[in-house]
Structure 1
Amino acid sequence: MKNRLEMLKEKVLNGYQIYKKEALFLAEQPLEELCKAADEIRRAFCGNAFDLCTIINGKSGKCSENCKYCAQSSFYQTHVESYPLLGTEELVQQAEYNSQRGVPRYSIVTSGKKLNSEEVEQVCESIRQIKKSVNISVCVSFGLLEEEDFRKIKEAGAERVHNNLETSEVYFPKVCTTHTWQDKIRALKNARAAGMSVCSGGIMGLGETMEDRIDLALTLQNLGVNSVPINMLNPIPGTPYEKNPKLTEEDMRRIIAVFRFILPKSFIRLAGGRGLMEDQGRNCFRSGANAAITGDMLTTAGITIRRDMEMLKELGYQVVKV
């Protein structure tokens, strides 16, 4: 007789969308059985396609927001390097470097609540030059912009907007008070209205509960988000979360697996914090994850493109633009 976990897996494979009570049940199931089922769902809906991207810290530090996890917030003493928006030449060079190594996506990420109008014009020119010079998809993470700004960015050649919700709506005020969770929802909707695809996920290990994580996943399901970054908190000295206990690889595998049940067709992306894992995410890629950020993170070292490419080949994945 099939157990409830197997029954839920088969229902998802047949198009069923699980609800919160079922997701909470899944989160308590034996890890190996849960992860095996999640990976079957991943293979059924996504095959062996793997979405790999790199990011560049296009503008660093002196951020006006008080997100408690962030080394770039002006509220905390973290000694992170600060600099204004990078010039076009440097952004193009980095895009070329990544493209030559087989990475299909390149994301420009900037600190601050949002870029101002002059910065939007500057980065649009950089994006135009990237698209002229390099065969790579451009993604952007420019904060809480209006639809008009996203339209300019799309016309310049960018395809996808990233803006993490970070956690559940209920828990978010404990993480940040200088902007709201609804501000982020509005930015994602502005990007969609401008004709861009969206990328949104969260950070695990902020002190949230499994229920908060599931609420986040259900929100992303309702929004129809297809690219879902899952970050593991790297507790940065000088931030309010510097003493937060680090999650384990088993914690991350369980989170990834539950997200896969809720978001069966999405590309679930291991992002920040992957370098803290001894196996660099290998077992998460067998537990439902099928995307990653490679190379350096914003303010911390990541995993080299070459090493990731070797690992993904060993696991049977094919890096493609999705």
Structure 2
Amino acid sequence: MHYREIITLGESILLGHQIQYKEALQLTHILNEDIPLLSAFANKIRIKFTGRNVDMCGIVNARSGLCSEDCKFCAQSVYHDTKTPIHNLLDIEKITAAAQQAQEQGAKRISIVTSGKGMDSDPDFQKIIESIQAIMYHTRLNVCANLGTLTLEQARMLASSGVKRYAHNLETSENFYPSVCTTHSYREHVATIQAAKSAGMELCTGGIIGMGESWQDRIDFAFALKSLDVASIPINILNPIKGTALEDVTPPSPLDIIKTFAIFRFIFPNKIIRPAGGREINLRDMQGHLMLSGANGLIIGNYLTFTGRNTVTDFQMVQDAGLIPALL
């Protein structure tokens, strides 16, 4: 794609044009020297349609390890020997304390995350409901949940307890998904997302780039998210963890990552696009460029199986980009 076509497409999106699949796929062919131009238009699109606020969200890893699923990127899978710590914070005092710490670090939203396929027949589900209610009572945080697969009845129970947004990733395109996981299907993810939406919750649904997928897989993945009308799109960048099936995969370059985020903003003018796990190790000194390439959300603090960076640094990064760390 020639740089003049980037300008034409960017200006048309600013005027309300909805990008088509072929147009998005064409953007993947731009040269590295045109990525700053793509980023500049992504930034203008973000400012026009979502403003300058950046949604800062923390994670509470409420239950870690011993996951029965074989997701090739995951350090918590029983199929991988990663020495990942095993813990269960599903105690009201412990989980409330973790949420209060996230609030003190500046988070306006917290996501309660548990390992495992999902909540069907899970004995901890009632504890999770009680923990969410306790967090809402003792903090000012908005609470999201990321508990794996759900039934419609469980989704309604979460919504009734006050959960406004359910987090459940597609991970990648439907075509590439069997290369990532074989113990549960892509369609099971879609069914859970639809159950959460039917229960009245917003959707926080994204995935991981850099697992060996093609650019077409990334565009297919983005348009699947578009069809589901998700509110928030967390994008992780593969952090190859020793002991996992993807430990030897070379992660994408910083320019590749920035290009991906900018293209996603062209596809999603008015949604939250949220850099998540792996940004620190893969972008290094170029993290701030994401804030000028269409990103308007961040996962702050630590992740599920590896540490993030000081939240003060992330808040400063957002402000240095002329943006406002806030709750959208």
Which residue number corresponds to residue 4 of structure 2? Answer: 3
Which residue number corresponds to residue 228 of structure 1? Answer: 233
* 3-state SS of 1:3 partner: helix
Is 1:12 aligned with 2:13? yes
State the shift of 1:221 in Å: 1.1
* 3-state SS of 1:118 partner: coil
Please say if residues 235 and 243 of structure 1, whose CA atoms lie closer than 8 Å, have aligned partners that are also in contact.
Answer: yes
Please say if residues 69 and 117 of structure 2, whose CA atoms lie closer than 8 Å, have aligned partners that are also in contact.
Answer: yes
Please say if residues 274 and 280 of structure 1, whose CA atoms lie closer than 8 Å, have aligned partners that are also in contact.
Answer: no
* 3-state SS of 2:124 partner: helix
Is 1:246 aligned with 2:213? no
State the shift of 1:85 in Å: 4.8
Q: Distance in 1 between matches of 2:157 and 2:253?
A: 41
Which residue number corresponds to residue 259 of structure 1? Answer: 264
Q: Write out the 4+ residue segments of structure 1 that deviate beyond 6 Å after TM superposition.
A: none
Q: 2:75 aligns with which of 42, 46, 71?
A: 71
**How large is the Cα RMSD of the aligned pairs?**
1.3
Q: Distance in 2 between matches of 1:33 and 1:62?
A: 45
Q: 1:170 aligns with which of 163, 167, 175?
A: 175
Is 1:21 aligned with 2:18? no
Q: Distance in 1 between matches of 2:232 and 2:291?
A: 15
Aligned ranges 1:1-322 → 2 under 5 Å = 3-29=4-30, 30-115=34-119, 116-276=121-281, 277-279=283-285, 281-322=287-328
Q: Distance in 2 between matches of 1:300 and 1:275?
A: 11
Q: Please, what TM-score do these two structures have when normalized by structure 1?
A: 0.97
User: 1:97-128 CA distances to partner (integer Å, 9 max, x unpaired)?
Assistant: 12223311001111000133431111111111
User: Matched residues, percent identical?
Assistant: 39
Q: Please, what TM-score do these two structures have when normalized by structure 2?
A: 0.95
Please say if residues 237 and 278 of structure 2, whose CA atoms lie closer than 8 Å, have aligned partners that are also in contact.
Answer: yes
User: 1:44-96 CA distances to partner (integer Å, 9 max, x unpaired)?
Assistant: 11110101100011111110110000000001111111123521111111111
Report the AA paired with residue 19 of structure 1.
Q
Please say if residues 55 and 108 of structure 1, whose CA atoms lie closer than 8 Å, have aligned partners that are also in contact.
Answer: yes
Report the AA paired with residue 21 of structure 1.
K
Q: Distance in 1 between matches of 2:181 and 2:122?
A: 25
State the shift of 1:320 in Å: 2.2
Please say if residues 107 and 140 of structure 1, whose CA atoms lie closer than 8 Å, have aligned partners that are also in contact.
Answer: yes
Please say if residues 85 and 110 of structure 1, whose CA atoms lie closer than 8 Å, have aligned partners that are also in contact.
Answer: no
Please say if residues 19 and 267 of structure 2, whose CA atoms lie closer than 8 Å, have aligned partners that are also in contact.
Answer: yes
User: 1:10-59 CA distances to partner (integer Å, 9 max, x unpaired)?
Assistant: 22112222122111211222211111111111111111010110001111
Report the AA paired with residue 56 of structure 1.
V
Q: Distance in 2 between matches of 1:130 and 1:86?
A: 12
State the shift of 1:253 in Å: 0.3
| Count of aligned positions | 321
Greater CA drift, 82-91 or 146-155: 82-91
